[in-house]
Every structure is written in C-alpha cells, then in structure tokens.
Amino acid sequence: MDVIAAYAEIDELADVISDVSSTGAHCRTNSRRGHTNPLDRSYPPVNAVCRALHVLKVVNSKSIATVNSIHSETGIPRPTIVRLLETLMHEGYVVRDNMCGGYRVTQNVADLSAGYSGISRVIEIARPLSIGLTRQIKWPIGLGMIDGDAIEILYWTGTISPVVHTNTVLGMRPDLFKSAMGRAYMAFCGDDERESQIELMRSRLGSIFGVTEEAVFRKHLERARAFGYAVRDPRTEPARMTTFGVPILEDGRIAAVMSVSFFTASVPKRDVKRSILDPLMEARLNIEHALAFISRRPHLDPSTRRDYAVNL
C-alpha cells in the first residue's frame, strides 16, 4: 500500500471514530413513532458511508465509470475512491470491467429498491401533516389513492394514536360505494371517471346497487361536494366507528384521499365539528397548500434526493 492510500484509509477511519466518539457512550436511534423528517437525525452522518453511497450513485448513473470520472463528480480523493470501489465489489454491487477500462454496477443494485413501495409524492408531502393531525386530535389518520375500483390505503398514523381500534389498515382497499374514502373520491373526481365507476358498480354489485341505491348514492356525493367531506355508511363494519373522508386536491384534480375514524360513542355529537371535522378540514387545506407550494419549487419535494452537508 502506498503512502497516499494509507493516508486515505486513516482518513476514513478517523471519520468513523469521530462520528462515534462525538455521540458519547449512550446510543439510540430515531423513534419510528411519527419521525418522518429526513433532516431530523439523532447524530451527524457517517462520512465514510456517505462517500460510498455517493460513489455508488455516480457509477450507477454511467455505463462505465472510471476513477477519474468519479473524482471529477464527487471530489473524493482518488485513493479513497479505489478503496470504496473495492468494498462495493466485495459486496457485489460493482464489478471491474477490464474490457471497457472502468467500473459498472451489477444487477444487485436493484435489490436496494426492493423495500420501496413507490409511495407517491402526494403521500410523502401529506405524511407529516397527518402525523400532526393525529397528535392534535388523537384519532388515526389514513391516506389513500385510487387503485382500479377501490382506494388503496398507503399510509396510516395508527402507530402513534392512543385510541387506535385495529392493528393496521395499511394495504386495505375500501370500496367506492360505502367507505368514506371511496365516497370522497367519487364526489370529487371528474364527471367522466365518476360515471365510468358507477357503470362498473352497476355491473358488479347487481341488486345491491339498484336504481334506488344509486339515487341515494348520488345524493351522498352531492352532499359531500357541498360540505367538503364524505361519511362512511353507518351500516358497515365496524359499526361502532364513524369515519369521515376528505379529498386532497392538486391543480383542481383529486390526487389522494384522507380519512379519520373514531369511536362514535366517544365523541358527543355537539363536539364532532370542533374536535374532528374542523381539524381534518384544516389539515386537508394545509396539505393542498403544501402541494401547491412545492409544485412551484420542485427542489423542495420531500420525495426527491437530498444532499446533506457532509465533509467529503
């Protein structure tokens, strides 16, 4: 090992030691309960890890990457780049292509995205505000998007609610006929989509969705458009719960739906508007304002890559 490479290794070890020693003896991780802000970290980032990820991103962006091309994009010392590439090769994410004179990624990099479900930009923006709403009113908040003939629940704050009524609703698919989310979506979607979905409901539900039921359903949608929220059919389970659903609009179109569920007997009717509906409507407006604000400033989108201030 030459002197430059030896210093590069010492530099990496110093970064790790500094990151660990600066935290003290007690170590903890960020709580999973409601912490979604990527800028809210327990400790400073480990520079060696940031460098490795930076190098991997550069190699991934090129057909063939050389040490010099990586250095020009990252500013990381060349000896350090070589060591990081060797480490990534050992882990199976990078290979040296002697034929082309550089490095390229392997198919193993695809495994790094296996746990990401593709949560939409709208849900990412709405999450912290949904968490704030649950902390304010205590009841769990759900976020969902249309998926064919139902709403798929993509996010839920039940893990931080002290009055949660079930283990989880993630992945559940409330229908468009009786659920609060479905009714909110149907009330605020475009006319053509609404009529197309109603036509499907006629064919799939049969006598359950006859002429009389359709007329009543359309009345519910009119009411939801007038008041800004929809209510779950009280005859559906769980019967002891009341659920409100509201649309999340972006550029005049429905982008997602949000719901809140609470034990009917726990909230007096005279208090429902003040303690449940008003905060729900306020959260909806705040989400819509955030979407409008970020759409004019794409670099603020929480679902995009963030560059932290890291000493490379």
Residue ranges and CATH numbers for the domains of the chain are 3-113 (1.10.10.10), 121-298 (3.30.450.40)
Top pLDDT among 193 and 17 is at 193
Q: Please state the rounded mean pLDDT for residues 238-244.
A: 92
**241 by DSSP, 3-state: which?**
strand
Cis upstream peptide for 238 (omega within 30°): yes
Classify residue 178 as exposed, middle or buried by CB count within 10 Å of its CB (0-12, 13-18, 19+). middle
Top pLDDT among 19 and 273 is at 273
Top pLDDT among 145 and 303 is at 145
pLDDT at 117: 57
- Percentage of the chain modeled with pLDDT above 90: 62
> What digits encode the pLDDT tens for the residues 138-170?
999 999 999 999 999 999 999 899 888 777 788
pTM: predicted TM-score of the whole model, two decimal places: 0.63
Rounded distance between C-alpha atoms, residue 163 and residue 156, angstroms: 13
Check whether 22 has a pLDDT greater than 60: no
Mention every residue, 6+ apart, whose C-beta is less than 8 A from residue 147.
173
| Whether the Cβ atoms of residue 19 and residue 43 lie closer than 8 Å to each other | yes
Check whether 31 has a pLDDT greater than 70: no
The pair phi, psi for residue 80, each rounded to 5°, is -65, -40
**Where is average pLDDT lowest: 25-34, 50-59, 230-239?**
25-34
The pair phi, psi for residue 262, each rounded to 5°, is -150, 155
> What digits encode the pLDDT tens for the residues 36-81?
555 556 788 899 999 999 999 999 988 899 999 999 999 999 999 9
Neighbouring CB atoms inside 10 A of 290's CB total 17
Top pLDDT among 16 and 271 is at 271
> What digits encode the pLDDT tens for the residues 111-125?
887 766 556 788 889
pLDDT at 308: 40
SS3 content of the chain, % helix, strand, coil (to 5): 50, 15, 35
Q: Where do the H-state alpha helices sit in the chain? A: 3-21, 47-60, 67-74, 78-90, 121-137, 180-188, 191-205, 211-227, 269-272, 278-295
Q: How confident is the model at residue 101 (pLDDT cuts 50, 70, 90)?
A: confident
Q: How confident is the model at residue 222 (pLDDT cuts 50, 70, 90)?
A: very high
